[in-house]
Structure 1
């Protein structure tokens, strides 16, 4: 489950963006559905995750954020010796964050 407890404390848009980015990049991103954002049928590696906040919409109850996520896709059985290939990957996601609990859901957006 994705929890963004520090993000929901922020009201200033700039602080909110910085905090969301920091929370996702420092471990929260491991709970993102990155495997759904792969393009080669591989699986995701979130160890070098980088997030760009593309847009934010705030209401009293929820925070909606569009993010771009850069990560590594690991594609198996496609090189000499059956060694997996590590490829840079990118996908866009829509986050919906409950302001009362910090619980967030993420959905990969179609390109």
Structure 2
């Protein structure tokens, strides 16, 4: 799975660009039945905020804002199907 598969952009408040190296996932709850596995996860990340390079130093033009998103993950064992929805 890659970052683009996760619906994290809907949890962003600015640019929607996410620092891929900053992603941390915590499992908040889980449940399993005979056919279904369900997870509720908390995803912590940094959103990249592009700014003005007034000092002519492009490295100072980027700042970050912490972000958080809850994702519900459902895996259907019979259909071999994974569904991820942002909360």
- Fold-level match, TM-score > 0.5? yes
Gaps of 5+ in 1: 1-27
**Corresponding residue for 1:91?**
69
Whether 2:82 is the aligned partner of 1:104: answer yes
Return the alpha-carbon distance in structure 2 between the equivalents of residues 52 and 32 of structure 1: 15
Q: Is the 8 A contact 1:44 1:74 kept in 2?
A: yes
**Corresponding residue for 2:43?**
69
| Alignment length (residue pairs) | 79
Residue-by-residue CA offset, 1:17-52 (whole Å, 9 max, x unaligned): xxxxxxxxxxx3522111111122432233221111
Please identify the structure whose Cα radius of gyration is greater: 2
Return the alpha-carbon distance in structure 1 between the equivalents of residues 36 and 77 of structure 2: 5
Instruction: Tell me which protein shows more helix as a share of its residues.
Output: 1
